[in-house]
Structure 1
């Protein structure tokens, strides 16, 4: 099987997941997805308080060796068991998720274009570009309602690591994208053009 590998990057709350889900829905049965967030490093050696002090927006916090290995195996036609991450406890979970090789493999993550070993593996590199204030509001909503964080902790982390790491790593990685999509999956014109291009390449 020859797979078309699509990388979707962008800042926190930019709309990467919306775009990913739109493509998974459009190509149902023909697409699998991998999430960079699931490849955060395990920190069983640290207690809960120590784990809250880590810089989760740094490329060093990701197990990119494992992700490169898994993506390479998927492209070669072999299934992989992806790790998962527990955002409530800030640590890798015991559960894994089986990802099957498909004609389309979507890889989503904030920092995937900042990793030199991952970039060459993507046939199509998409960067979702959204205003910083919109991204911040979405992150507050997600972290407070879905991940059990306090507003104060979200604000503290955003100023300490999220914003500076975005400026240092995420924004510059935009240069590695083939296509920049404002507002991600909410941009219906861009989505229609992208779907047409994917269908063309699959054909």
Structure 2
């Protein structure tokens, strides 16, 4: 049976991780079966707190993530067992109680800001990628996403960015670039970088 390959994609908030993951799945690995999971789905449940209390939480710290469940799901997928990935409600800052069925595949792509920082996740990866994106671009992308998709107020987005997002990026995320096998400088239309990593990924995925 073909070996399951796990690809981890890290980078700052709104750095383009999901975009790169989609390109890898649809363009580089279009002839392989690929499943994509996101660390954003694995936040701990904070339903016991009110909304104001939740807004004060540090969602960019490793303690906000259910690392054990992520590792459990990666291990199951590695053994070609399907999993139920939780659906996180970002408008309420809590788990929705619903899940998405993730089928076992030849390739598993996990993206998340802390995916290379956390050793227990990192050691399960066959390919480790870091998306390097300028801070101002990431902030603008995050601002647009949180206002348009998550119903956040401008002042709350800016406050969260300055209070937790940026400091945690400098402390946890940015240093994790040292663990990456491949570093991708990301900007809109940078297909050259995707093409450059294609050969490396294909060779590892097709290696028995």
1:38 aligns with 2:67: no
State the partner residue of 1:18: 19
Separation in 2 of the partners of 1:161 and 1:186? Answer: 29
Separation in 1 of the partners of 2:97 and 2:205? Answer: 36
TM-score where L is the length of structure 1: 0.96
Separation in 2 of the partners of 1:193 and 1:81? Answer: 33
Instruction: For residue 201 of structure 1, report the CA deviation from its aligned partner.
Output: 2.2
State the partner residue of 2:118: 115
* Equivalent position to 1:97, from 95, 100, 124: 100
State the partner residue of 2:191: 188
For residues 42-80 of structure 1, the C-alpha deviation after alignment (integer angstroms, 9 at most, x for no partner) is 012212221111110111000000000000000011000
- List runs of 5+ in structure 1 lacking aligned partners: none
- List runs of 5+ in structure 2 lacking aligned partners: none
Residues 1:94 and 1:110: Cα distance change in structure 2 (over 3 Å)? same
* Equivalent position to 2:64, from 61, 66, 75: 61
Residue 196 of structure 2: SS of its match in structure 1? Answer: helix
Residue 113 of structure 1: SS of its match in structure 2? Answer: coil
Residue 112 of structure 1: SS of its match in structure 2? Answer: coil
TM-score where L is the length of structure 2: 0.94
Instruction: For residue 121 of structure 1, report the CA deviation from its aligned partner.
Output: 0.6
Residues 1:68 and 1:37: Cα distance change in structure 2 (over 3 Å)? same
Residue 21 of structure 2: SS of its match in structure 1? Answer: helix
Q: Is the Cα contact below 8 Å between 2:9 and 2:112 reproduced in 1? A: yes
For residues 116-160 of structure 1, the C-alpha deviation after alignment (integer angstroms, 9 at most, x for no partner) is 101111111000001101110000000011110011110010010
Q: Is the Cα contact below 8 Å between 2:117 and 2:172 reproduced in 1? A: yes
State the partner residue of 2:136: 133
Separation in 1 of the partners of 2:108 and 2:188? Answer: 17
Q: Is the Cα contact below 8 Å between 1:35 and 1:109 reproduced in 2? A: yes
Which of 178-187 and 160-169 deviates more?
178-187
Q: Is the Cα contact below 8 Å between 2:182 and 2:197 reproduced in 1? A: no
